[in-house]
Amino acid sequence: MLLSFHMTRLRALFAIVALGLFLPVRAQADNEMSVELDLSKPQIALDDRALLTVTVSGVNAVPEPTVPSVEGLDILFQGRTQSLQIINMNMKSSIVFRYALAPQRTGEFTIGPVQVRGRQRTYESNVVLLKVVEAGQSQPATPSVQNVIVEASINKTDPYLGQQITLLLRFARRPTVRLTNAGYQLPDLSDFWNEGMESKREYLQTIDGKEYMVTELAFPLFPTTAGEVMIGPITLYYDELVPKESSRFDSPFFKDPFGRNLFDDDFFKLFSSEDIVKRSVQTDPVRLRVHRLPEGGQPEGFRGGVGSFSVTSRLSGNEVKVGESVTLTLALSGEGNVRDVPAPELSIDGVKVYEDTPSVNVKNYNDTIVGEKVYKLALVPQQTGKTVIPTISISYFNPQTGRYETASSAPVSLNVLPSENETFVVAKPAAPRGGGEQTLQRKDDILPIHERIGPIERSRTERWVRRLRIVAYPLPIIAYLFCLGIVRHRERLRTDIAYRRSRTALKKAEDHIRKAEDAINENIWDAAFMECSRAVTEYLADKLNVPAGGLTPADIESALSRHGVPPNILKEVVRFLESCDYGRFAPSEKAPGMSRNYIGKARGILEYLEKEESITR
Amino acid sequence: MKEQSRPLLTSALAAFAIALLCSLLAASAVMAGEPSPSVAPDQVDDVFDIANGEYKAGNYESAVRLYEGLVSGSPLKTAEMYYNLGNAYFKLHKLGKAIAAYRRALRLAPRNEDIRANLTYVRNNAKDKIDRPKSTDALHEIFFFHYRVNPAEAEALFLGAYVLASLCGSAYLFWKRKLIRWATGVAVVLAVALGVNGLIHIHDTAHPRGAVVIADETSVHTGPADTYMVSFNLHDGTELELHTTGAEWSQVELADGRRGWIRQTDIEIVS
């Protein structure tokens, strides 16, 4: 624990010193600058790539160097890294520019010199040579390639035509090897039907005593060409992250007493740099011999299909009416390329069969292609009775047994009922005998045309109805609303006293005037004045919903003025009531003439007040 | 007071509902208008007889022309005209046209068994067999009433129920009898149901959603142009449901749920 504590402190101290040493580097002069060109390997295959590095030492800022183009070689810039080295207690800064070299042809190529512009002059690098050989001849020179194993194989080298084989691509790598951007390119597979449903698995495996991480890709294929067939090499591409070959901390100076590097720690790895090396490897080609299907024992109805299949049939309903359709679902399923299995032929007496495009569902189940092909057939029975959908069979070649086999579905019965719309036409016999009795025949054609336009009269009626719409639609609702109004009026008269008094005020006033006329006819003058006065007073009491008893002209004047009756009318009403009282209590000789005159006045006042909205409201 | 005003309020609401339905029906009916006739009503019988004569003589093309003239030019379109037109088209092996004519005939005379029989027969002769969804049959069973009356009958029935509801409602205003109240309630419900039924008929007439393939064979594409992928092919006499109608292409759906775009010239729209 104590040792661990000291190690941590020592590492922290180194980190601080290393960071602090960056500052003086900026002051380095141009005269210490040098340019060096280096290749990751001197020889590569045509399908391989090499890494070119341009190391500019002695400066900490330079523009990107000018790499001369080389015919037949693509030079791709991969990035730059900057590093600091301490040699004999002297600090040295360097910038590394990385380029990937992708050859376009074989041959020997001279790369360089590369030019770098310094502050005072332009510097040139050395020259390197690269040899490009044919693909597959490249020597596995670099140790990193040995850390990767790629191989291709098939599970069956002598399959039958149409039998599924599995092409296996195994890619093993040491767990310490760091790879990114891995991909593969399949060869020409035109001699096979490929469902494109590869499966992938990964596992650890010990090979020659070393542990490898293995990625396995399985490609199910169906040979479509008989004879010798070759599956070309599969090319695997990947980028390998390679630590810099000469690490500045590899010196024994940085080893602890136990031989461990003091900088072998996640913290210091932040300051280390890695190169990305693009690599590609190929598998060996795989050869197989595809056999034709045996001709002997081939069933008569065989039209293709290799694998192991079964057939099921199902009806959407067990009962159907004549002329209506029922769906027969026919499912072919099993191992193998179900797409190759042809549609079974189905013919049923008294039933029309309509085919539809089948649907196919294929899955990769443990590297075995299994599938289902579903046919939906519309069956339209033409006659009643029990119809049996017969056994439906398909023949196929089973490569496991090496024989032709037949799969059959179970028969299905269908009960055909008479059609609801099936019509029977009354057909007159061609030569009527014995009274010309009519016979019923089942209809097997459309019914004949109609000779007469029967409902044309009805159509004329409809035209009249159409014209009457303008009345027919609003009239009933208007009548109803009228009745509703009457009922509501009656109801209010019954329940609302003020409303009833207001609505009956004029009628009662007219009754009083009629009584006044009777009194005049009977020469009872005071009674005539009294009735005239009551006609107006009670009318106003009813309209204003106040008690009529004890209502004086002053009360009336006050009430009417509150309702906004004009002052001249107010005065007229008050004067009229006072005159009536005078005539009633102080009879004179002028009373007969006056009383008749006052009946007219009372009518005039009532007529006016009836029009006055503030009172009648 | 409150208790007494409640029936009045209910009655007023019912009256309002019926009045609203009436307004909708009346407005729709007025908007539908009447076509201007090109065949005089007194000539209809003569033309019909001549067309029938052509049909019997086997001159189906001539019969089709005459029947088409009647149904397009006569103000009195009858189910018999469309029925005979359907027969003539069938004889010319134009199943889609025949189905369209029978469907129009059936709309005018929905209880005519002859039309149903011929329509079923022609449908069975169509090349494409498409299962109808069971829900469609269930709808026809539940709303059998809607499918067994034509638009004019639906309107007449509504008017009858409407007048009855108004009369019963008015009577109940004066005579608060239980029997009259029940009769009013039943009549109002009936009038509303028949009114909705009538509105659906009017809507179906104004916005037909049915269509029949009239081309011998046509392709249904995934989009409204020939450049789109072909989903499936259809043949003469296949019935469809319209979803969207564009300038040249219509989006259609089959009874089994398949959808796509079809050229409008390859289909005939029927309500």
- Segment B62-72 mean pLDDT: 91
Identify whether the C-beta of residue B150 lies closer than 8 Å to the C-beta of residue B110.
yes
Greatest C-alpha distance within chain B: 78
User: What per-residue confidence (pLDDT) applies to B190?
Assistant: 93
Q: Do A421 and B113 touch (CB under 8 A)?
A: yes
Element (H, E) at A83: strand A73-87
User: What per-residue confidence (pLDDT) applies to A551?
Assistant: 78
| Helix A456-472 and helix A474-495, axial crossing angle in degrees, nearest 10 | 30
A 236-255 residues with CB below 8 A of B? none
- Segment A187-202 mean pLDDT: 84
Whether B156 and B179 share a structural domain:
yes
User: What per-residue confidence (pLDDT) applies to B60?
Assistant: 93
Single out the residue of A197, A155, A221, A219 nearest to residue A364, CA to CA: A197
Q: Which two tokens stand for residue B211?
A: 């269509």
Helix/strand/coil for A188? coil
Distance CA A328, CA B201 (A): 36
Question: Quick one: A26-133 is in which CATH superfamily?
Answer: Immunoglobulins (2.60.40.10)
User: What per-residue confidence (pLDDT) applies to A156?
Assistant: 87
Distance CA B205, CA A504 (A): 56
Sheet strands side by side (includes A274-282) = A179-185, A235-243, A274-282
Tokens 């409640």 belong to which residue?
A: B6
Q: Do A323 and B120 touch (CB under 8 A)?
A: yes
Whether B63 and B115 share a structural domain:
yes
Distance CA A548, CA A473 (A): 49
User: What per-residue confidence (pLDDT) applies to A442?
Assistant: 41
Question: Could you give the angle at the alpha carbon of A410 between the alpha carbons of A408 and A414, nearest 5°?
Answer: 135
Q: What count of other Cβ atoms lies within 10 Å of the Cβ of residue A537?
A: 22
B174 and chain A: CB distance < 8 Å anywhere? yes
Single out the residue of B230, B216, B222 nearest to residue B265, CA to CA: B216
Q: What count of other Cβ atoms lies within 10 Å of the Cβ of residue A389?
A: 23
Contacts of B141 (CB under 8 A, 6+ apart): none
Chain A CB contacts of B88 under 8 Å are: 449
| CATH code for the domain in which residue B53 is found | 1.25.40.10
Single out the residue of A295, A320, A267, A238 nearest to residue A48, CA to CA: A238
Amino acid, res. B73: G
Q: What is the pLDDT of residues B198-240, one digit of tens each?
A: 899 888 888 888 999 999 999 999 999 988 988 889 999 999 9
| Helix B79-91 and helix B113-125, axial crossing angle in degrees, nearest 10 | 30
Q: Is residue B134 part of a domain?
A: no
Distance CA A213, CA A202 (A): 7
Q: Which of A445, A451, A484 is opposite residue B12, by nearest beta carbon?
A: A484
Q: What is the pLDDT of residues A460-492, one digit of tens each?
A: 666 676 777 778 888 888 888 999 999 988 888
Q: Which of B30, B87, B166 is opposite residue A477, by nearest beta carbon?
A: B166
Q: Is residue B141 part of a domain?
A: no
A460 and chain B: CB distance < 8 Å anywhere? yes
Helix/strand/coil for A143? helix
Q: Is residue B67 part of a domain?
A: yes
Chain A CB contacts of B79 under 8 Å are: 455
Contacts of B171 (CB under 8 A, 6+ apart): B180, B184
User: Comparing B227 with A79, which gets the higher pLDDT?
Assistant: B227
Say yes or no to pLDDT of A504 above 50: yes
Pairing of strands B210-213, B239-245: antiparallel
Whether B80 and B13 share a structural domain:
no
User: What per-residue confidence (pLDDT) applies to A364?
Assistant: 82
Identify whether the C-beta of residue B63 lies closer than 8 Å to the C-beta of residue B39.
no
Grade residue A250 by pLDDT with cuts at 50, 70 and 90.
low
Q: What is the pLDDT of residues A145-176, one digit of tens each?
A: 467 888 899 988 889 988 889 998 888 888 88
A120-134, A339-353, A435-449, B190-204, range with greatest mean pLDDT? B190-204
Beta bridge partners of A362: A371
Beta bridge partners of A373: A332, A360
Please count the residues of chain B: 271
Whether B121 and B248 share a structural domain:
no
Grade residue B8 by pLDDT with cuts at 50, 70 and 90.
low
- Segment A371-380 mean pLDDT: 82
Question: How many structural domains compose chain B?
Answer: 3
User: Comparing A8 with A207, which gets the higher pLDDT?
Assistant: A207
Q: Which of B25, B79, B129 is opposite residue A354, by nearest beta carbon?
A: B129
Q: What is the pLDDT of residues A119-135, one digit of tens each?
A: 778 888 888 888 888 87
User: What per-residue confidence (pLDDT) applies to A12?
Assistant: 47
Q: Do B52 and A463 touch (CB under 8 A)?
A: no
Amino acid, res. A256: D
CA atoms within 13 A on the CB side of A568: 1
Q: Which of A423, A486, A487 is opposite residue B113, by nearest beta carbon?
A: A423
Distance CA B200, CA B223 (A): 30
Q: Do A459 and B12 touch (CB under 8 A)?
A: no
User: Comparing A518 with A302, which gets the higher pLDDT?
Assistant: A518
User: What per-residue confidence (pLDDT) applies to A1?
Assistant: 41
Beta strands in A244-324 (DSSP E): 274-282, 286-290, 307-315, 319-321
Determine if residue A103 is left, alpha or beta; phi over 0 gives left, psi from -120 to 50 gives alpha, anything else beta: beta
3-state secondary structure A593-607: HHHHHHHHHHHHHHH
A12 and chain B: CB distance < 8 Å anywhere? no
Grade residue A89 by pLDDT with cuts at 50, 70 and 90.
low
Domain interval for residue B254:
210-270
Whether B48 and B121 share a structural domain:
yes
Instruction: Determine which of A74-78, A586-590, A602-606 has the lowest per-residue pLDDT on average.
Output: A586-590
Q: What is the pLDDT of residues A253-284, one digit of tens each?
A: 555 555 555 555 555 555 556 777 777 888 88
Chain A CB contacts of B162 under 8 Å are: 473, 476
Q: What is the mean pLDDT of chain A?
A: 77
Residue A347 Cα distances to A313, A353, A384, A395, B246, angstroms: 14, 7, 17, 17, 42
Q: Is residue B36 part of a domain?
A: no
Architecture field, domain A307-417: Sandwich (2.60)
Say yes or no to pLDDT of B146 above 60: yes
DSSP alpha helices (H): ranges in A74-224? 143-146
Identify whether the C-beta of residue A457 lies closer than 8 Å to the C-beta of residue A465.
no
User: What per-residue confidence (pLDDT) applies to A91?
Assistant: 64
Q: Is residue B35 part of a domain?
A: no
Whether B121 and B47 share a structural domain:
yes
Helix/strand/coil for A348? strand
Whether B15 and B79 share a structural domain:
no
Beta bridge partners of A426: A440
pTM of the complete model: 0.45
Burial tier of A101 (Cβ tally within 10 Å: 0-12, 13-18, 19+): buried
Whether B245 and B220 share a structural domain:
yes
Distance CA B118, CA A419 (A): 13
User: Comparing A351 with A512, which gets the higher pLDDT?
Assistant: A512
Q: Domain coordinates of chain A in residue numbers?
A: 26-133, 143-289, 307-417, 493-616
Single out the residue of A557, A525, A536, A539 nearest to residue A600, CA to CA: A536
Residue A75 Cα distances to A48, A68, A82, A117, B226, angstroms: 13, 9, 21, 20, 48
Helix/strand/coil for A424? strand
DSSP codes of every residue in A388-412 = EE---EEEEEETTTTEEEEEEPPPE
Distance CA B109, CA A228 (A): 73
B255 and chain A: CB distance < 8 Å anywhere? no
Q: What is the dihedral of CA A456, A457, A460, A461, to 10 degrees?
A: -130
Whether B249 and B232 share a structural domain:
yes
Say yes or no to pLDDT of A143 above 60: no
Please count the residues of chain A: 617
- Segment A225-254 mean pLDDT: 73
Identify whether the C-beta of residue A311 lies closer than 8 Å to the C-beta of residue A409.
yes
B114 and chain A: CB distance < 8 Å anywhere? yes
User: What per-residue confidence (pLDDT) applies to A27?
Assistant: 39
A 338-367 residues with CB below 8 A of B? 352, 354, 357
Q: What is the pLDDT of residues B73-94, one digit of tens each?
A: 776 788 899 999 999 999 999 9
B 189-248 residues with CB below 8 A of A? 232
User: What per-residue confidence (pLDDT) applies to A15?
Assistant: 45
Identify whether the C-beta of residue A275 lies closer than 8 Å to the C-beta of residue A51.
yes
User: What per-residue confidence (pLDDT) applies to A20?
Assistant: 41
Distance CA A94, CA A88 (A): 16
* CATH fold of A143-289: Immunoglobulin-like (2.60.40)
Beta bridge partners of A608: none
| CATH code for the domain in which residue B263 is found | 2.30.30.40
Single out the residue of B28, B15, B175, B10 nearest to residue A476, CA to CA: B15
Single out the residue of B202, B252, B192, B200 nearest to residue B222, CA to CA: B252
Separate counts of helices (H) and strands (E) for chain A: 12, 31
A 393-422 residues with CB below 8 A of B? 419, 421-422
Burial tier of A302 (Cβ tally within 10 Å: 0-12, 13-18, 19+): middle
Residue A559 Cα distances to A119, A541, A544, angstroms: 115, 10, 8
Architecture field, domain A493-616: Up-down Bundle (1.20)
Q: Which of B23, B78, B173 is opposite residue A483, by nearest beta carbon?
A: B173
Whether B199 and B247 share a structural domain:
no
A 263-302 residues with CB below 8 A of B? none
DSSP state of A258: T
Q: Is residue B57 part of a domain?
A: yes
Determine if residue B179 is left, alpha or beta; phi over 0 gives left, psi from -120 to 50 gives alpha, anything else beta: alpha
Q: What is the dihedral of CA A586, A590, A596, A599, to 10 degrees?
A: -40
Question: Could you give the angle at the alpha carbon of A45 between the alpha carbons of A44 and A48, nearest 5°?
Answer: 85
Residue A99 Cα distances to A77, A246, A277, angstroms: 4, 19, 10
User: What per-residue confidence (pLDDT) applies to B269?
Assistant: 92
User: What per-residue confidence (pLDDT) applies to A2?
Assistant: 40
Q: Which of A325, A465, A487 is opposite residue B174, by nearest beta carbon?
A: A487
**Which one of B121, B122, B130 would you mutate to disrupt binding with A, by most A Cβ within 10 Å of its Cβ?**
B121
Whether B47 and B118 share a structural domain:
yes
Whether B62 and B21 share a structural domain:
no
Instruction: Determine which of A550-559, B165-174, B181-190 has the lowest per-residue pLDDT on average.
Output: A550-559
DSSP codes of every residue in B82-127 = HHHHHHHHHHTT-HHHHHHHHHHHHHHSTT-HHHHHHHHHHHHHSS
Q: What count of other Cβ atoms lies within 10 Å of the Cβ of residue A62?
A: 19
